Structure 1
């Protein structure tokens, strides 16, 4: 499964790059992350709880950062085992460039699964992987920029902004 995307973040590339190397920021941004420990040099250990279709699992795994070019690019590679649920592994090539007073972040992600997870079918897995990547980069952007009005109203859902319970929208 492969996917690519680009997004604009309203902070300089150095701030985005530093955030991608910070284990506390990674824990904040990875959906379902329970624990992220380690360092850039030694790699990170992570515990992530996720539900993919009917399968809920706790994945324990390793994350390594490589091809580090400060404030420009890096490669994130990870592999996790979820016991009977199977395994997930993948990587992302992330590129940063200064644009419009902020950072243009582009990424190419490749993911593979095995075990029970692989039996769910590619449509479910592909949708889940896209959702995870989108959530990660949305969380990163929100952590760096602060929540946007659109994000607050959407409550992290996709689609157009939604009105509140009483039909009011923020002005």
Structure 2
């Protein structure tokens, strides 16, 4: 399954780049992620619980960041084993583009599964993979920058609303 799309994030490129390297942000954004440890340099270890069609599995695996060109682009690769359910692996090529005070995040995602999961059929698997990618990037967009409708200054206080990552990082 391959998917390409983009998201406009109400944050500057430096903030978006920092969020992509943060295990805390990645844990919050990966659907079903129970645990995420590690660093951008060493890679991350993750535990993700997901239900694909009738199959519920706990995937344990690693996430690595490579081909990093700060603060322009990187590749996120992950692979997890789900015991009897099989395995899932995939990656995303991510490119950041400054647009005034916002960042356009472009991504190309590729996902593959094996084991019992392949018996579900490509339609279910492709739909699940697309849903996971959409959820991750929606979560990331909301974590790093306030949604567009909230990005304007609050009418009463005049303060700019921010995503939770920008509030935590002081951005």
What's the TM-score bracket when you normalise by the shorter of the two chains?
0.7 to 0.9
Post-superposition, which runs of at least 4 consecutive aligned residues in structure 1 deviate over 6 A?
Answer: none
Work out the CA distance in 1 between the residues paired with 2:45 and 2:145. 27
Root-mean-square deviation (CA), in Å? 1.3
Alignment of structure 1 residues 135-150 onto 2, 5 Å: 135-146=135-146
The answer on 1:4 being equivalent to 2:4 is yes
Partner SS for 2:11? coil
Question: Is 1:39 matched with 2:39?
Answer: yes
Structure 1 Cα separation of the partners of residues 98 and 146 of structure 2: 19
Which residues of 2 match residues 1-171 of structure 1 at below 5 A?
A: 1-146=1-146
Contact 2:10/2:146 (<8 A) preserved: no
Contact 2:10 2:148 (C-alpha < 8 Å) held by counterparts? no
TM-score, scaled relative to structure 2:
0.85
Q: Give 3-state SS (helix, strand or coil) of 1:7's partner.
A: strand
Normalising by structure 1, we get a TM-score of 0.85
Tell me the SS of whatever aligns to 2:139: helix
Inter-CA distance 46–125: structure 2 relative to 1 (3 Å threshold): same
Displacement of 1:147 in angstroms is 5.3
